Chain A
């Protein structure tokens, strides 16, 4: 099985990539600006929704229920979609999904003599399975039509955000990419100039390319319908203009009934882009003669999701509707941008999703890429307790290390064991306090420690540490008790 989310078999460690990114003033400024703007918009439209907390609760309950009966709902979806003229395919992992998609495209292209090109709606899942590389290897040209995805594709870049994948680029940088790739040396950098260029470039594709490709925001089990929401209308073009449409969707995208959209279509746009409603909400069911694509396929993707489902502590990860609110709210993400996470899924949700989908080995620094401040949980529209899941994953990282080393020498593990030993024995703990007080004399200058060795050096790199006081609280208390007793007896 090839489960794939990240860029490589083993991602570079988060602190190491972050080290370079926090120093990039252009990225810091772009990410900060973009997340601030979206956060403020979100805060305004959430504040006006008086039943926001109830909506969050409903969404979380619907997701919980659906995951409990996922097998049933998936089969119900398959039956309904097939009845409406669609075809459903099942893929256990990324490679299988790509194989199915390629075979479908290749046979249709050969049969109808279509050009070997495909227009794509923004889809994270296709990035997850690395579809574009598979298409290119087979001689099929994918065209990203979402403006931001197009910027990423033309700039040979990687997405840094789930919803606004090019937020680390500003418009001067976008102008440079467009002007180079579209051969427009005179292009200006005003929003109007850039969208005009994109429109001309894309319109030609919409009119000529015969195969469309999309992800899904929701799959409705009851009706076999697929729902995609977007802001530009380019998605609507891809979903309606081509002869053939293929959709790939993670199995967790299922909701029981169309009525459930009432909850999610209120939560998603407010959380994602700070809009009351998405400008384009496309819901389609199977195929219809003379209206839209004549051939429609859905590829249902597992790619590690059933493993998450099996873990009751972290199952809630699958509630995610990919709104990106946790990224915008995260103080870590806003300092590093998305590339530090070594995966197409960045930010707090990426920190819990990537290691679970791919493997703990791939990204064991990710569960630690959080100060556990809880801002992500606070904004999550489906109430994923991300800090709790991070803690659960941290314990799995440690268990894995302890199993590998079988109690051997890992500095952190050893220090933690020693601390636990001392904390369980007050006498040793007290001696530890005394020892530290004596030992610190080597390091203290004018009441502060300015340098610490090894891992602790991370602290003194930018901070001083106040010297330990001569008398811990417990010694002060003990003295006071003695004095009190003395005073009582002398009376």
Chain B
């Protein structure tokens, strides 16, 4: 098999070989988000590859207390992406798990080979907007999105990756977009993974406040860097027939004039 590596083209621009970790729920529920990541990266001239053996990073198991079950999933992740130069995922909670918990989890196994592999793997992983702004130095991806949009700061993006500012910069550079600030933008929407089903009433109470804030903006689109939060917010917005839709940030960035995702 031929392995394509990153290289510098004739203009002296770095052409990156990016390995996409789509994440299990984006793969299954939000393929458009993955397609948008591919579209943006290829538009910027980079190469994307997708290791098909990938499944899940183990977040759901780890965060619900099933750390024993999460360990082999982590092992698979580091093996599958062992040869990757840069790994990108359009999910801050998965990236936060990898960054904050993988090494600790590996250490519980006492497996020195695994620990070494994890240490090698973790610094290669970027959340999608981090890859664009921090690694590639791009803040304007040439997107066009003529809609009234409000942005929700996902908790892991905000407090785990500290990348909300990055996402706002990317959004501000989108042409024709009308950005409206969301009240209490930094307050959790109430998703919290299995929290949404284990504590459905509290989750709903948190959701209703988030929806009120979204509706107050009179936006037609609510965006964020995580489809998990958006799935929850959209679930409530659709139940009440508010006519507001949710769209992952990557899909806005992939949209161009005449070719909206």
Residues of chain A touching chain B, judged by Cβ–Cβ distance below 8 Å, are 14-15, 18-19, 22, 28, 331-332, 335-336, 367-375, 377-378, 388, 391, 394-399, 412, 416-417, 419-420, 422-424, 426, 429, 433, 436, 448, 450, 455-456, 458-459, 461-466, 468-469, 471-474, 476-478
From 211 to 250 in chain B, residues with beta carbon under 8 angstroms from any chain A beta carbon are 231-232, 234-236, 238-239
Q: Can you pick out 25 interface pairs between chain A and chain B where the beta carbons lie within 8 Å of each other? A: A15-B199, A18-B199, A335-B205, A371-B192, A372-B195, A373-B188, A374-B156, A374-B160, A375-B188, A377-B159, A388-B100, A394-B65, A396-B65, A398-B66, A412-B64, A416-B69, A426-B55, A436-B28, A448-B238, A455-B197, A464-B235, A466-B29, A466-B238, A476-B31, A477-B52
B204 at interface, CB cutoff 8 A? yes
Q: Are B28 and A472 in contact (CB under 8 A)?
A: yes
Contact of A419 among B29, B60, B199 (CB under 8 A): B60
B84 at interface, CB cutoff 8 A? no
User: Quick check: which of B19-27, B121-129, B174-182 contacts chain A, the rest being far away?
Assistant: B19-27
Q: Are B159 and A398 in contact (CB under 8 A)?
A: no
Q: Separation in Å of the B134 CB from the closest CB of chain A?
A: 21
Known: A416-B66, A423-B56, A465-B231. 8 other contacts (CB 8 A): A15-B200, A398-B67, A420-B61, A420-B70, A424-B76, A464-B239, A472-B28, A477-B38
Contact of B27 among A394, A424, A474 (CB under 8 A): A474
How many positions in chain B have a CB within 8 Å of any CB in the partner chain?
68
Q: How far is the CA of A397 from the CA of B65 in the complex (A)?
A: 7
Contact of A456 among B27, B188, B197 (CB under 8 A): B197
Q: Are A473 and B155 in contact (CB under 8 A)?
A: no
Q: Separation in Å of the B248 CB from the closest CB of chain A?
A: 12
Chain A residues near B65: list those with CB within 8 A. Answer: 367, 391, 394-399
Q: How far is the CA of A169 from the CA of B196 in the complex (A)?
A: 29
Q: Are B188 and A331 in contact (CB under 8 A)?
A: yes
Known contacts A374-B159, A456-B197; A18 and B202 CB within 8 A of each other = yes
Q: Separation in Å of the A354 CB from the closest CB of chain B?
A: 16
Known contacts A335-B202, A468-B29; A459 and B60 CB within 8 A of each other = no
Q: Separation in Å of the A430 CB from the closest CB of chain B?
A: 9
Chain B residues near A461: list those with CB within 8 A. Answer: 200, 204
Q: Are B206 and A371 in contact (CB under 8 A)?
A: yes
B35 at interface, CB cutoff 8 A? yes
Q: Are A395 and B201 in contact (CB under 8 A)?
A: no
Q: How far is the CA of A478 from the CA of B27 in the complex (A)?
A: 12
Residue of A nearest to B197 (CB): A458
From 47 to 72 in chain B, residues with beta carbon under 8 angstroms from any chain A beta carbon are 50, 52-56, 58, 60-70, 72
Q: Are B73 and A458 in contact (CB under 8 A)?
A: no
Chain B residues near A433: list those with CB within 8 A. Answer: 27-28
Chain A residues near B52: list those with CB within 8 A. Answer: 426, 474, 477-478
Chain B residues near A455: list those with CB within 8 A. Answer: 197
Q: Separation in Å of the A87 CB from the closest CB of chain B?
A: 44
B115 at interface, CB cutoff 8 A? no
Residues of chain B touching chain A, judged by Cβ–Cβ distance below 8 Å, are 22, 24, 26-32, 34-35, 38, 50, 52-56, 58, 60-70, 72-73, 76, 100-101, 155-156, 158-160, 186-188, 190-207, 231-232, 234-236, 238-239
Q: Which 9 A-B pairs have the closest CB atoms?
A: A371-B192, A463-B235, A394-B65, A458-B200, A373-B188, A398-B65, A458-B197, A473-B34, A374-B159
Q: Separation in Å of the B21 CB from the closest CB of chain A?
A: 11
Q: Are B190 and A331 in contact (CB under 8 A)?
A: yes
Residue of B nearest to A18 (CB): B202
Q: How far is the CA of A487 from the CA of B125 in the complex (A)?
A: 32
Chain B residues near A336: list those with CB within 8 A. Answer: 202
Chain B residues near A412: list those with CB within 8 A. Answer: 64
Interface centre among B28, B56, B72, B231 (most CB of A within 10 A): B28
Q: How far is the CA of A336 from the CA of B204 in the complex (A)?
A: 12
Q: Are B232 and A463 in contact (CB under 8 A)?
A: yes
Q: Are B195 and A370 in contact (CB under 8 A)?
A: yes
Chain B residues near A28: list those with CB within 8 A. Answer: 205
Q: Are A420 and B72 in contact (CB under 8 A)?
A: yes
Chain B residues near A370: list those with CB within 8 A. Answer: 192, 195
Known contacts A371-B192, A371-B206, A373-B159; A429 and B22 CB within 8 A of each other = no
Chain A residues near B239: list those with CB within 8 A. Answer: 450, 462-464
Q: Are B155 and A372 in contact (CB under 8 A)?
A: yes
Known contacts A371-B206, A374-B159, A463-B235; A473 and B73 CB within 8 A of each other = no
Chain B residues near A436: list those with CB within 8 A. Answer: 28
Chain A residues near B68: list those with CB within 8 A. Answer: 395, 399
Chain A residues near B156: list those with CB within 8 A. Answer: 374
Q: Are B195 and A368 in contact (CB under 8 A)?
A: yes
Contact of A472 among B27, B70, B198, B200 (CB under 8 A): B27
Q: How far is the CA of A473 from the CA of B64 in the complex (A)?
A: 26
Q: How far is the CA of A466 from the CA of B246 in the complex (A)?
A: 11
Chain A residues near B187: list those with CB within 8 A. Answer: 331, 373, 375
Q: Are A474 and B50 in contact (CB under 8 A)?
A: yes
Q: Are B64 and A398 in contact (CB under 8 A)?
A: yes
Q: Are B26 and A473 in contact (CB under 8 A)?
A: yes
Known contacts A375-B188, A458-B200; A468 and B28 CB within 8 A of each other = yes
Chain A residues near B69: list those with CB within 8 A. Answer: 416-417, 420
Q: How far is the CA of A332 from the CA of B187 in the complex (A)?
A: 10
Contact of B201 among A22, A420, A463 (CB under 8 A): A22
Chain A residues near B60: list those with CB within 8 A. Answer: 416, 419
Known contacts A372-B155, A375-B159, A429-B55; A466 and B231 CB within 8 A of each other = yes
Chain A residues near B190: list those with CB within 8 A. Answer: 331, 371
Q: Separation in Å of the A285 CB from the closest CB of chain B?
A: 41
Q: How far is the CA of A471 from the CA of B31 in the complex (A)?
A: 7
Q: Are A473 and B31 in contact (CB under 8 A)?
A: yes
Q: Are A395 and B206 in contact (CB under 8 A)?
A: no
Q: Are A18 and B64 in contact (CB under 8 A)?
A: no
Interface centre among A369, A461, A473 (most CB of B within 10 A): A473
Q: How far is the CA of A290 from the CA of B190 in the complex (A)?
A: 58
Chain B residues near A473: list those with CB within 8 A. Answer: 22, 26-27, 30-31, 34-35
Contact of B193 among A22, A372, A477 (CB under 8 A): A372
Q: Are B50 and A424 in contact (CB under 8 A)?
A: no
Chain B residues near A377: list those with CB within 8 A. Answer: 159
Q: How far is the CA of A345 from the CA of B156 in the complex (A)?
A: 26
Chain A residues near B159: list those with CB within 8 A. Answer: 373-375, 377-378
Q: Separation in Å of the B240 CB from the closest CB of chain A?
A: 9
Residue of A nearest to B234 (CB): A466
Q: Separation in Å of the B55 CB from the closest CB of chain A?
A: 4
Chain B residues near A426: list those with CB within 8 A. Answer: 52-55
Q: How far is the CA of A420 from the CA of B68 in the complex (A)?
A: 10
